[in-house]
Amino acid sequence: MNEISGGVTAAKGFLANGIHCGLKKQKPDFALIYSKTPCTAAAVFTTNLVKAAPVKLSQENIANGKIQAIIVNSGNANACNADGMEKALAMAELAAKKLDIPASDVLVASTGVIGQSLDISPMINGIDELAAGLSEDGSASACAAIMTTDTFAKEAAVEFEIGGKPVRIGGITKGSGMIKPNMATMLGFVTTDCAISAEMLKKANKAAADETFNMISVDGDTSTNDTFAILANGEACNVEITEENADYYAFVSGLIVVTRKLARMMARDGEGATKLLVCKAERTDTIENARLTAKGVICSNLFKAAMFGEDANWGRVLCAIGYSGAEVNPEKIDVSFESDKGKIEVCRGGFGVQFSEEKAAEVLSADEISILVSLNSGDESAEAYGCDLTYDYVKINGDYRS
């Protein structure tokens, strides 16, 4: 499996573009992703009961497993607005008219400030330029246009073979705050030229989300707009995947490579973050206990603050595991911290071991830290991705609307 460039347009037949239409003062804010041919499609959305209008519309449109285009704006979430559905429908119609496809085949997504009416006029004025600029090299511009507080673009793509045919999967994401997804992420769009049925694509989408995007937490908040969608146009001309066979598992493996890379980038770019935290829960009896353990550690604000301070406060790891919901034996838990500056054991069998605070501080001074947790009860494992909690997180969110 080879990592390649191209992001959301790496797969055959996909075009994208992103422009500045005026929703934001200067930065790109309007994006379009399009397949030349109809696609099977699957998506997962926010579990927040307060759902933005674009989420509600997209849930309706993708129910039949078919989508051909995705239209996105940043700068305004179009959430909690009386005219939200009207504006979401207008966005779908804009794309449909320019691309000559049914509006029901358009996925709509928005991101930005909640509770402010979305001005549709900049998008009406910009749709001609946006559609005219669609290209096979448009992933970067589309990625830039969906960003809000992100500090860098998040793209990934891979190429591998299924049934002797080269297949590509690529995607883009945005999100650095209000991220604790459950069956979703902030905004994530993945495309593939693999031929795969809507039913199998839905299963693959869930499998990838459960292992990667659902294992992220930046701040414990779940957005009103979370969307993770995948489109497959079949242009790789492989034998269509219609069952859970070897081809299906190869596809899932490729998809997870892409989504894991995107998930790690989202966690690394957490608002105000200085460190990527990766918790690896190992030797657990069930995958569920592994995921609960890893996610529990990553979600602990006290632990995240300790990592910012480069303080090896391992007690906060055990504390977080204890209330995570995982069924564990506290007297079997081992904990170590690891980075490119070394590795240090801090807890064995649920109790502290002597270690050098100076060495620990050196290990924790790196910009990527692994928290290795062994429950010593089985053979399952899972990873969760997060970041440290810094002064800048409060500053960024203290004046987000301004």
Q: Which residue has the tokens 């050098």?
A: 356
Distance CA 45, CA 207 (A): 14
- pLDDT of 170 > 80? The answer is yes
Q: What is the mean pLDDT of residues 173-197?
A: 74
State the pLDDT at residue 267: 86
- pLDDT of 176 > 70? The answer is no
Q: Distances in Å between the alpha carbon of 247 and those of 202, 229, 252?
A: 15, 21, 9
State the pLDDT at residue 378: 97
Cα angle 311-317-318, degrees, rounded to a multiple of 5: 135
Residue from 185, 201, 193, 283 nearest 8 by CA = 193
- pLDDT of 286 > 50? The answer is yes
Provide the pLDDT confidence category of residue 47 given band limits of 50, 70 and 90.
Answer: confident
Q: Which CATH number fits domain 2-268: 3.40.1390.20, 3.30.420.40, 3.60.70.12, 3.50.50.60?
A: 3.60.70.12
Distance CA 298, CA 278 (A): 8
Catalytic residue among 9, 149, 173, 185: 185
Q: What is the mean pLDDT of residues 134-147?
A: 97
Q: What is the DSSP letter of 390?
A: -
- pLDDT of 232 > 60? The answer is yes
**Domain residues of the chain, as ranges?**
2-268, 276-398
Residue from 290, 301, 278, 283 nearest 325 by CA = 290
Q: Residue 50 belongs to what H/E stretch? A: none
Provide the pLDDT confidence category of residue 185 given band limits of 50, 70 and 90.
Answer: very low
Q: What is the mean pLDDT of residues 29-46?
A: 96
State the pLDDT at residue 48: 80
Length of the chain: 402
85-116 confidence digits (pLDDT tens):
999 999 999 999 999 999 999 999 999 888 89
108-137 confidence digits (pLDDT tens):
999 988 889 999 999 999 999 999 999 999
Tell whether domain 276-398 is in CATH 3.90.1150.10. no
Query: For a pLDDT cut of 90, what percent of the chain falls above it?
Result: 81
238-279 confidence digits (pLDDT tens):
999 999 999 999 999 999 999 999 999 988 887 678 999 999
Q: Within 13 A of 128's CA, how many CA atoms are on the CB side? A: 2
State the pLDDT at residue 364: 97
- pLDDT of 199 > 70? The answer is yes
Query: For a pLDDT cut of 70, what percent of the chain falls above it?
Result: 94
State the pLDDT at residue 400: 55
Q: Distances in Å between the alpha carbon of 229 and those of 12, 126, 134, 171, 372?
A: 17, 24, 19, 10, 31
State the pLDDT at residue 179: 47
State the pLDDT at residue 184: 40
- Tell me the pairing of strands 368-374 and 276-284: parallel
User: Reduced to 3 states, what is the DSSP secondary structure of residue 377?
Assistant: coil
- Tell me the pairing of strands 187-192 and 227-232: parallel
Q: Distances in Å between the alpha carbon of 42 and those of 48, 117, 192, 231, 389?
A: 19, 28, 12, 7, 33
What rounded mean pLDDT belongs to the chain?
92
Beta bridge partners of 96: none
Q: What are phi and psi of 89, to 5 degrees?
A: -60, -40
State the pLDDT at residue 223: 65
Catalytic: 222? no
52-73 confidence digits (pLDDT tens):
999 999 999 999 999 999 999 9
State the pLDDT at residue 275: 93
State the pLDDT at residue 397: 65
| Total-model pTM | 0.88
Distance CA 12, CA 192 (A): 8
Tell me if 2-268 shares its fold with 276-398.
no
> How far is C-alpha 34 from the geometric centre of its chain's CA atoms?
20
Q: Distances in Å between the alpha carbon of 261 and those of 21, 299, 325, 326, 365?
A: 30, 20, 27, 26, 23
The amino acid occupying position 179 is I
Q: Please list, in sequence order, all residues whose beta carbon lies within 8 angstroms of the beta carbon of residue 262, skipping any fewer than 6 positions away.
A: 154, 155, 156, 171, 172, 173, 188, 212, 213
